[in-house]
Chains A and B, each alone.
Chain A
Amino acid sequence: MARFQALTNNVLDQELEMLRERLGLGASQKAELLREVAALAAWIVRQAEQGRLVEGRRGTDVEALRHPAIERIRAAKERPVGPRVALTDDEVSRLAEVLDRGFVLSPALRAALANLASTKRRPPKLRWKKTAA
Chain B
Amino acid sequence: MAVRIEALGRQHRTLLAQFQNQHASLVEYLTRFALRHGEKDLLARTYVAIDEVAGAPRLAGYFSLSTVSVDRASAARLPGLNRLPGFPIAGVLLARLAVDARVQGQGLGRFLFEEALGLTLQLGRAGPVAFRLFVTDALDGHAAGFYERFGLARLGDQFPCRMVLDLGPILGAR
Contact = CB atoms under 8 A, between A and B. Distances in A.
A and B co-occur in one complex = yes
A131 B43 contact: no
Interface string A57-85: 00000000000000000000001111111
Given A87-B70, A95-B84, A100-B83, A132 B155 contact: no
Contacts of B68: 81-85
Contacts of A34: none
Contacts of B153: 94, 98
A126 B60 contact: yes
A132 B98 CA distance: 14
B171 to A, nearest CB: 11
B105 A94 contact: no
A116 to B, nearest CB: 5
Contacts of B5: 123
Contacts of A120: none
B80 A123 contact: no
Nearest to A117: B118
Contacts of A88: 73-74, 156
Interface string A113-133: 101100001111111111111
A109 B148 CA distance: 10
Contact-residue bracket for chain B: 35 or more
Interface in B115-150: 117-118, 121, 135, 149-150
Contact of B150 (A112, A123, A130, A131): A112
B173 to A, nearest CB: 10
Contacts of B15: none
A4 interface: no
Contact-residue bracket for chain A: 35 or more
B67 interface: yes
A86 interface: yes
Given A116-B117, A124-B107, A79 B84 contact: no
Contacts of B20: 132
A82 B71 CA distance: 12
B155 A87 contact: yes
Given A109-B151, A115-B114, A128-B58, A93 B80 contact: yes
A84 B104 CA distance: 31
Contact of B88 (A84, A100, A105, A122): A84
A94 B161 CA distance: 13
Contacts of B164: 95, 98
A2 interface: no
Nearest to B101: A132
A88 B157 CA distance: 12
B69 A82 contact: yes
Closest 4 A/B residue pairs (Cβ):
A132-B101, A82-B67, A103-B169, A81-B69
Given A82-B67, A87-B71, A128-B51, 11 more contacts: A83-B66, A85-B69, A88-B73, A95-B84, A96-B78, A96-B83, A98-B166, A123-B111, A124-B107, A126-B3, A127-B106
